[in-house]
Amino acid sequence: MNVKVLGAANEVGRSGFLVNCNGTNLLLDYGVLFGRRGTPPGYPVHVKPKDLDAIIITHAHLDHSGYVPSLFVSGNTDVYATPPTFDLSKLLIEDMLKIEKNSHPFDLPELNNMMKNAKEIGFKQKIIKGNATFELRESGHVIGGSTILVESEKKRIFYTGDIKTNGSRMIREMDLDIGEIDLLITESTYAKTEQKPRKESEKELIEFANEVMDRKGILFIPSFSVERSQEIACILKSVNFKHKIIMDGMALKVNEIMFRHLDYLRDPKVFSEAINSSTAIREHSERKRAMNDPCVVISPAGMLVGGNAVFYLQNLAFDDKNGIALVSYQGEGTPGKKLLETGKVSSRGRDVNVTAEVKQFEFSGHADRNELFDMIKKIKGNPKVWAIHGDSESCDMFAKEIHEKFGLETYAPAVNDTITV
């Protein structure tokens, strides 16, 4: 098998890997790289749709799924993913096209064509394609999120996509019962970082929520719409939080999708109770009315870039009774990062000091350094390793450390690099 890097080399974004199994071509992910605001998006290396036998999407996040519709401008190829991945990918790509009008070389017709070619598969369901077989395994990262196992002529590749080995309150842990591997392609996003244990982050968030309620304030939690919003609702529900929990924005559409796929969750009952007991805001007129009393507001966008988060920020940021809990990754150049570093937000064209109490909490959906090494320890065989999907320092350092710790042949590949197994 020959594997070629199309993206996500020394960068987080535009994931794409082309696996040639003696003439059978499988494309693993095909995502978008969002540049700083005002810069155009980046894409993986171009592949011809007619050369592909199958496209396999690990999960719905746009850096893994967002460029797949470009392959349906003039061709048709079978696309494989879990049912939640297809539902969420469609929602997120539609939203991307609405926000970034005419920024991408495809539009809704291509997305619809992609969905017409969708082949829904479950975990551990082996698919035969030409000279290869492949299957999806649980990744612990998001609902329906998977890793990919490819086998051809007694050689096996394991591509992690994005992983959270321990899972979360919402998602079951990663499935590592995969047998011997010849090539491991692993994400390196947090290879330099040791994260705070989830239980500690949860406890701190609950304490902060109670402090804000005690001073009769409102706690605003800008949060990623896929999973993070729902996880925060579940955490509050788990301690019988007495105050109203408001959910708004695209998180509501994600709730509906998750209700359709409860069997992909760790504990469907906990999820259902948390969402059903929250207050959904669907009309702008309801927003102000809903905030008459102390409450928690969970609303995208997680980095405060657009969405209903802007409305809540302008209404809640300038009262010291209120709190703002940042529970999502804050990218460089985003309003969320600016708030963290300067304590200011833009209001009516000028920077204004925020008087609400701002705190950040660690709730990453990615494996940290310890989890990544633990995962590699459990991999059987003597695989070559590619460290990808991290900044160049993370990929390089992770590759060196894997070699030192485990004696494996390890690389931090560049775009267009190939490897044979």
Percent of the chain whose predicted confidence (pLDDT) is above 70: 99
> Mind listing the pLDDT tens digit for each residue in 276-314?
999 999 998 899 888 999 999 999 988 888 778 889 999
Q: What is the mean pLDDT of residues 247-254?
A: 95
Mean pLDDT of the chain: 95
Decide: 312 and 282 in contact? Cβ < 8 Å.
Answer: no
> Mind listing the pLDDT tens digit for each residue in 75-84?
789 999 999 9
Taking 80 as the threshold, does the pLDDT of residue 324 lie above it?
yes
The verdict on 52 and 177 lying in the same domain is yes
The verdict on 215 and 185 lying in the same domain is no
The verdict on 256 and 163 lying in the same domain is no
Which of 360, 395, 412 is where one domain is finished?
Answer: 360
Q: What is the mean pLDDT of residues 337-347?
A: 91
Q: What is the pLDDT of residue 37?
A: 67
Helices 108-116, 83-99: crossing angle, 10 deg rounding: 170
Angle at 133 between CA 112 and CA 73, to 5 degrees: 25
Amino acid at 286: E
Q: Which of 320, 325, 239, 245 is nearest to 277 (CA)?
A: 245
SS (H, E, C) the chain: CEEEEEECCCCCCCCEEEEEECCEEEEEEECCECCCCCCCCECCCCCCHHHCCEEECCCCCHHHHCCHHHHHCCCCCCEEECHHHHHHHHHHHHHHHHHCCCCCCCCHHHHHHHHHCEEECCCCCCEEECCEEEEEEECCCCCCCEEEEEEECCEEEEECCCCCCCCCCCCCCCCCCCCECCEEEEECCECCCCCCCHHHHHHHHHHHHHHHHHCCCEEEEECCCCCHHHHHHHHHHHCCCCCEEEEECHHHHHHHHHHHCHHHCCCHHHHHHHHHCCEEECCHHHHHHHCCCCEEEEECCCCCCCCCHHHHHHHHCCCCCCEEEECCCCCCCCHHHHHHHHCEEEECCEEEECCCEEEECCCCCCCEHHHHHHHHHHCECCCEEEEECCCHHHHHHHHHHHHHHHCCCEECCCCCCEEEC
The verdict on 291 and 392 lying in the same domain is no
The verdict on 98 and 224 lying in the same domain is no
The verdict on 267 and 344 lying in the same domain is yes
Q: What is the pLDDT of residue 358?
A: 97
Looking up residue 229, the CATH number of its domain turns out to be 3.40.50.10890
Decide: 77 and 69 in contact? Cβ < 8 Å.
Answer: no
The verdict on 189 and 202 lying in the same domain is no
Lowest-confidence segment of 63-67, 292-296, 343-347 by average pLDDT? 343-347
> How far is the C-alpha of 300 from the C-alpha of 306, rounded, in Å?
8
Which of 314, 340, 360 is where one domain is finished?
Answer: 360
Its pTM stands at 0.95
- Check the CA dihedral 100-103-107-110 and report its sign: negative
The verdict on 256 and 370 lying in the same domain is no
Which of 360, 392, 410 is where one domain is finished?
Answer: 360
Decide: 260 and 254 in contact? Cβ < 8 Å.
Answer: no
Q: Which residue has the higher pLDDT, 34 or 177?
A: 177
Looking up residue 409, the CATH number of its domain turns out to be 3.60.15.10
The verdict on 214 and 347 lying in the same domain is yes
Q: How many domains are contained in the chain?
A: 2
Q: What is the pLDDT of residue 199?
A: 93
Domain that residue 156 falls in:
2-193+365-420
Q: What is the pLDDT of residue 331?
A: 82
Decide: 49 and 76 in contact? Cβ < 8 Å.
Answer: yes
- 């999820």: which residue's tokens? 271
> Mind listing the pLDDT tens digit for each residue in 113-165?
999 999 999 999 999 999 999 999 999 999 999 999 999 999 999 999 999 99
The verdict on 189 and 229 lying in the same domain is no
The verdict on 374 and 353 lying in the same domain is no
